[in-house]
Amino acid sequence: MSGLHFQEYDHLDLVLMQDFRKMKNIIIKLVVPIILFASICGCERDFETLNKNPFKPIQTEIGPLFNGVVQSLTLGWSEQLYLHNESLYKLTQLAALSATTFDNPSIGKEEVWSRYYSSLTNIRDIESRINDFEGDLEAMNNVKAMVKTLLAYKTFRLTDLFGDIPFFEAGKGFEGVEFIRPGFDAQEDIYKFLLDELKWVNDFVDPLAVETSMGSDYISLNGFDVLFDEDMIRWVKFANSLRLRHALRMYDADPTFAEMHIKDIMENNLPLIDKNEDVLITPRLLQWDNKSVHWSFREHRKLRMGSNIWRKFSENDEIDGSGIYDPRARIFFETNNDGEWKAFPQLPDENTEPSGGGPYQSARDVNYNLKGNDNIYSAFNYYLIRDELDVPEIIMTSAEVNFILAELFLRGLGVEQDESQARAAYDAGISHSIQFWHKIVDQTQIWVNAPPPLGVNGEFITINHDQVRFSNSDNPIELIYTQRWIDSFRQPWEAYALGRRTQLTPVEGDRIEHNRFTYPDSEAENNPENWAEQVAKMGGDTEKTRLWWMN
């Protein structure tokens, strides 16, 4: 695991964040093929051998490039503050925004956009070097599979936020001036290409093979795969699970194409992420202090437990927590300054008391109970957002895979409709989720006020509660969506996609019509002709424009 060493800035203040806009004229994401992870994500890296040919003469020099791509999987500082904490938690109602603090999503959008296209340059460079490899091409299959999977994950995330994006010709500026300002590509084309690429991973990687059919050794990254340490069955499971997630997401837009991929996975019983095989970025294992999460909450300060999610955790509003039936409530949130469980109204009115206090301030390291007298609402659990080493950033979990399977069986998508199979997958999803979060608490060294242990069958308490039991519901699909929504608590972008696709995730009041984020301002400045053509095709760059898979 020594291939990746992150060094975070000790402090990233708001002045720097405001200066980001000034940087965009220097750092041109689509047009200048330079590697600039340090300036974009608040991280610094050492890439002395970045531009050397990895196979001439040393094969493993491709590792630092791949390493940089893995690094780019981490969440950006501004992404978390401006997009997650200020926008997505409110839109998804996974939490309540008690007051508008930084109503400036443009800073977060710039960071997400820039980091993607910076890492895409690395990916294109790797692809180019693979194509230039002279030798047994099959020997490159494992490296190709890893790169294809990361490209798919990263690109799905970006296109699901913005819609159509530059992709097929993007990141290739080093190949010629014709690629300097790439055009926008249709989300449909991007989706179908990436799903086929993920299928390639399953079809052309043999995790048990030690050499190619010609007797060559597979090219190794020699320690630079810090995600799975070149365990190819883990990569294949990740690729198949990612393919299942996005085939389902696009199903209503093109059932024939989506079903082809779903059937391939289900009928051939292809391996998927299973319990304890979650795809995670764990700081301690990567020798990285994750300071950005606490910073984003400490600077923002206004997120609280909302009444919407509280009513999915507790059967009543008793302030002593006696109505809590889901143990994740005590992991995600904590009591107010008076030791009470009190949710901020999802739909506040003029009589709603204001939220205050300092539940996310570093002073609580010394005095945990120092939340501030006017902190009258339950906040996010301090240890969940304060830990820098043991709380992972989540890519994909076995719980999510089970909720996907539950929906497929219940709706009969690519499989024969089977309610008993749906229920089994649903129950497994809840069980995996609860055990996953308790495992995080158990392994987090700073977590002091840990919730009670689950016991032998504790995870089934939630599954058998009247409000959660599958057999009790007249509309079990909503139960599946609710539990998948809860499980995505620290992946609000996934809850955002689920809500837009289904329109059935829990909400109080009217669902906000927010279908995408508008393009970053820098794209209009740096790629004006293609941007203008794209906006004209869309009929305007607005948040109400529906994504392809929503149609």
Q: How far apart are CA 394 and CA 381, in angstroms?
A: 17
- Whether 485 and 429 have beta carbons less than 8 Å apart is answered as no
Q: How far apart are CA 401 and CA 435, in angstroms?
A: 15
CA angle 52/58/63 to nearest 5° reads 65
pLDDT of residue 134: 87
Q: How many CB atoms lie within 10 A of CB 551?
A: 9
pLDDT of residue 460: 60
pLDDT of residue 459: 59
pLDDT of residue 463: 81
pLDDT of residue 175: 75
CA separation, residue 231 to residues 43, 82, 277 (Å):
27, 36, 12
- Whether 4 and 286 have beta carbons less than 8 Å apart is answered as yes
7-219+234-291+390-537 sits in which CATH class? mainly alpha
> Would the pTM count as exceeding 0.95?
no
Sorted by where each begins, the domain ranges of the chain are: 7-219+234-291+390-537
Torsion of CA 183, 185, 190, 193, to 10 degrees: -70
In angstroms, how far apart are the furthest CA atoms of the chain?
75
- Whether 123 and 103 have beta carbons less than 8 Å apart is answered as no
Closest C-alpha among 340, 359, 339 to residue 294 = 359
pLDDT of residue 7: 35
Question: In which residue ranges of the chain is pLDDT below 50?
Answer: 1-60, 456
Torsion of CA 316, 337, 378, 473, to 10 degrees: -20
3-state helix/strand/coil string of 334-396 = CCCCCCCCCCECCCCCCCCCCCCCCCCCHHHHCCCCCCCCCCCCCCECHHHHHCCCCCCEEEE
- Whether 395 and 415 have beta carbons less than 8 Å apart is answered as no
Side-chain-side CA neighbours of 416 within 13 Å: the count stands at 3
pLDDT of residue 99: 82
